[in-house]
Amino acid sequence: MSASKPTLVIVGRPNVGKSTLFNRLTGTRRSIVTNEPGITRDRIHGSATWRGRTFEVVDTGGLVPEAKAAIPQEIMRQARVAIDSAARLIFVVDARDGLTPLDSELARLLRKTGKPILVAANKADTGAQLALAAPFYSIADEVFPISGEHGTGVDDLLDAATADFSESAGAAPEEETQIAIIGRPNVGKSTLLNRLTGSDRAIVSPEPGTTRDAVDLVVERGGRNYRFVDTAGIRRKGKTNLIAEKLSVIMARKHLESADLALLVMDASVGVTAGDLTIGGYAHESGRSVILVMNKWDLALEAAREKVRAEARESRAKGKTAKNVGVEHSISDPARLAQEYERLVRERFKFLDYAPVIFLSALTGQRAGAIYGLIDRVAEARRRRVPTGELNRWLTTLDLSRGTSPGARRIKIFYITQASSSPPTFVLFTNQTRKLHFSFERFLENRLREKFDYIGTPIRFLQRLKEKR
């Protein structure tokens, strides 16, 4: 994990404005805010600074202690994990609703933790409403009437909450690789996040759409920092009904566009679907580096073996044993099966031909550890800058006529230089008065990948056109 900072954990019953306050403290729009209760389910982390003191802020789901349903129970468990690491608890209540029985019950449970508690009486938007905070002194000694939406009273709350936090050292922030975990609902994104980070940060449930907010976690491994962001399952617009689901999809695409690379998670036991292709298109268009993750590989292997066993039994009944002995042998070799499966995946994802494919099981951990090495390789390729001299020496070794269409004007590239990285972008100075044909750009792109190992990352070209006489 990254270096620890003091943590403020925001708790309270559903729909009192916890996520609004979280966004106010962190200066972000990480948590989704709507009038629909129960939007936040996982723990959402963010950083904040107040009067030179840097600290972590954690937004938790709405707490209902006696709830029997699986997701409310998991929200309670996630909140307890956050509370255990808290320096202070900010207990958010609704000043307009007054002190409810559920507030009193939560206050009793929170006092048992032994953590210092500050009550934020939210939705006290005007001076006339400040008196609405008075009843909450019966459950805590420190009560602050605030408006999370407008910021009123938040400075006093922060002064008290961070009073004993030390001022942050002026050290330069460490470089980290930001990784968005994207995919359709229920393909195992949250299970993969938990597997890669060695934690239970994300709620895992058979119910599709469990993750709504983006859940992130910074992991330190081998001297490198990785920020994993588990996004909500992306569905087609026509498939999203609730406003919360629509906002989740919008936020998932926003988090994708702020990442360095994307892990596109798919269900290998189902195969590549139209939804997977659409999400892959989002990643490609956004210029992210991509790794194709075929999850649930253990289920896919077992399904393939069972299919072959059934076919073999049927063939043996007809006396055709020799052929099926060979088939059974090939299906018993996971490496050979993965090669065949990868060929099928690549046929579907022709526009992501630069993306490596990995087969794993997030649930069992099978091959999951190998993904870190692949992430490092792709991240390094994305940031790679090739000196101009080396690029132009490479250019002299190319037979450009191989990439030129028959009958087309012979293409000359006088000079090439790399303008930027993330993704790698190259400027071409040519003898052309019109933009290069995409097939010639593809020829150049493939040669660049062969020479400089640009795995997993898209490559962009900018062309300086020759002026017409």
Residue range 127-142: average pLDDT? Answer: 84
Query: DSSP letter at 273?
Result: -
Q: What is the mean pLDDT of the chain?
A: 81
Q: What is the mean pLDDT of residues 345-362?
A: 95
Give the Å distances, CA to CA, from 57 to 37, 53, 75, 83, 216: 21, 12, 17, 11, 12
Q: Give the pLDDT band (50/70/90) at residue 346.
A: very high
Sign of the C-alpha dihedral computed for residues 34, 93, 144 and 109 taken in this order:
negative
Of all residues in the chain, the percent with pLDDT exceeding 70 is 76
Write out pLDDT tens, residues 186-227.
899 889 988 998 865 544 444 444 444 446 677 888 888 898
The token duo for 246 is 């629509």
pLDDT greater at residue 404 or residue 203: 404
Residue 31 pLDDT: 47
Say which residue the tokens 């997701």 belong to.
Answer: 71
Q: What is the mean pLDDT of residues 254-282?
A: 90
Between these two residues, 266 and 130, which has the higher pLDDT value?
266
Q: Lowest-pLDDT range, 3-17, 95-109, 196-210?
A: 196-210
- The Cα–Cα gap between 389 and 416 comes to 9
pLDDT, residue 169, reads 52
pTM beyond 0.85: the answer is no
Q: What's the CA gap between 375 and 288, in Å, rounded?
A: 13
Q: Which residues pair with 298 in a beta bridge?
A: none
Q: Does 136 score more than 90 pLDDT? A: yes
| 312-340 tens-digit pLDDT | 777 777 776 545 444 455 555 777 888 88
Give the residue, 59 or 89, on which the prediction is more confident.
Answer: 89
pLDDT of residue 211: 44
pLDDT level of residue 38 (50, 70, 90 thresholds): very low
Distances (CA, A) of 392 to 139, 332, 440, 447: 72, 48, 17, 13
Confidence bin at 374 (pLDDT 50/70/90): very high
DSSP-derived letter for residue 326 is H
Report whether pLDDT(77) > 90.
no
Radius of gyration of the chain (CA): 27
- pLDDT value of residue 3: 46
Q: Is the pLDDT of residue 278 over 80?
A: yes
Altogether, the residues listed in the chain come to a count of 469
Q: What is the pLDDT of residues 153-187, one digit of tens each?
A: 999 999 999 999 988 654 444 578 999 999 988 89
Question: Is 431 in a helix, a strand, or coil?
Answer: coil
Cα(296)–Cα(246) distance, rounded to whole angstroms? Answer: 27
**Average pLDDT for residues 376-394, to the nearest whole number?**
95
Domains and CATH numbers, the chain: 7-161 (3.40.50.300), 176-383 (3.40.50.300), 388-464 (3.30.300.20)
pLDDT at 174: 56
Residue for token pair 């982390």: 45
Full DSSP string of 33-74: --SSTT---S-EEEEEEETTEEEEEEE-PPP-TT--SHHHHH
